[in-house]
Amino acid sequence: MSSLFSNGKPNFSIEIPTIKFTKLFINGQFVDSLSGKEFETIDPRTGEVIAKIAEGRKEDIDVAVKAARVAFDDGPWPRMPGAERARILLKWAELIDQNIEEIAALDTIDAGKLYNFCKAVDIPGVAHTIRYYAGAADKIHGEVLKPSRELHAYTLMEPIGVVGHIIPWNFPSTMFATKVAPSLAAGCTMVLKPAEQTPLSALFYAHLAKQAGIPDGVLNVVPGFGATAGAAISSHMDIDKVSFTGSTEVGREIMISAAKSNLKPVSLELGGKSPLLIFDDADVDKAAELALIGILFNKGEICVAGSRVFVQEGIYDEFEKKLVEKAKAWIVGDPFDPKAQQGPQVDKKQFEKILSYIEIGKKEGATLLTGGKNIGDKGYYIEPTVFSNVKEDMLIAQDEIFGPVMALMKFKTIEEAIKSANNTRYGLAAGIVTKNLDIANTVSRSIRAGIIWINCYFAFGNDIPYGGYKMSGFGRDFGLESLHKYLQVKSVVTPIYNSPWL
């Protein structure tokens, strides 16, 4: 297994930024939590403390919601022309572009993400997402209706109100923008809780939002824990909608809380156990590369990871050999090192969970082809791990592991592949590798998942809706569908008299 841990001292320079923002951001100000409590955010490269962060609890959420409510009911943001909201959002995106390196470093030390990738993709992507929705802010239109009675009717698209966003730790910046940009463009105000593992970049974005001119109270960022701050958001009587990305188990709890409180609508992007189907006509080398990236990108901490790989029997042996070769050449190391392809898992809890699933896979009788162990004596690094001879009812083939662990299986027919792909409680994504258009069309229409990638994987875009079927949730991020979930449709009807036509 390739790694960068045998060299002793790193042969690259790291400039860790000074942590500037550690308090709650409420009503345009950085403030201490009302309890005065703090929690530690940990560097997964070392297990050491980066900073102490103010811990938001129910009472802090109440203050933040009150600020967001005043900003929505009486403030300028929902009442601005869309073009004016767009102007401020574009300025915010520009400020993010000016601070790419610092924000990228924050996500690297907080989440173990590859610094160069954050700098080239994740953080510029935040600015791109904000610009995309800024462009939609002045294009929110209802329809003129043509009733069959003597009525004149039209619809209005109105901002839904105060939104509660709860985002995960695997893509702190991307998830921030995915939730915040469309809801701001729609004219909503909001309270966002970043994951307790990764609060640093969200607080930095809040600082830049203030500089850009987003009015006080419109965007509030309250770090804290799910059981306290998250629960307070989902059960709050004055929050009008909750948008959550995270585990299916927590998503279920949020739905219950939303129903028991004010019956607020909920959108959920939850877990996945996505299949990648590779057919006999595939280019084996390219397919192995795609499969490897599908499970190892972001160290497997991605809900659409191609964690179940099904290969048709005609190319299976050749594919397995190439896959193992590529996995053994994969470079694990410090995420600041430009040579590294994989950094540490986000925290000790996730690290231990992944290792425990690897042990379960061995006990269940799967064959460990490569990997299976942690790397180094500090930090949360795990070898790329591939199991073969996996049965579909094994836990490693059914549970979302959220780490660099692949379950490799074999199939004979297209019908068998479709059945296996759908043999999961999840339905977030799927991949198909084939040169046959008929196979691609048939299989893509037969798999019950929210996004299907043909001869590619992780092909995301601001204009491509993304979300789940089944226990992977409902509602869509990205695209105009995401903007619309933060809007209410209101019908306005008046009678018409003596009109020459209806």
Catalytic residues: 269, 303
The span from the CA of 135 to the CA of 206, in Å, is: 21
Q: Which of helix, strand or coil describes residue 326? A: helix
**Dist CA 308 CA 275 (whole Å):** 5
Residue 312 CA, distance from chain mean position: 31
Evaluated on CA atoms 26, 111, 347, 337, the torsion sign reads negative
Beta strand extents in 99-188 (DSSP E only): 144-145, 151-159, 162-166
Two structure tokens written together for 300: 């497997």
Beta-carbon contacts of residue 81 (< 8 Å; ≥ 6 apart) = 138
* Beta strands 144-145; 151-159: pairing state: antiparallel
Cα–Cα distance measured from residue 234 to residue 237, given in angstroms and rounded to the nearest whole number: 9
Contact 78, 156 (CB under 8 A): no
Tell me the C-alpha distance between 248 and 245, whole Å: 9
Q: Give the tokens for residue 186.
A: 């729609």
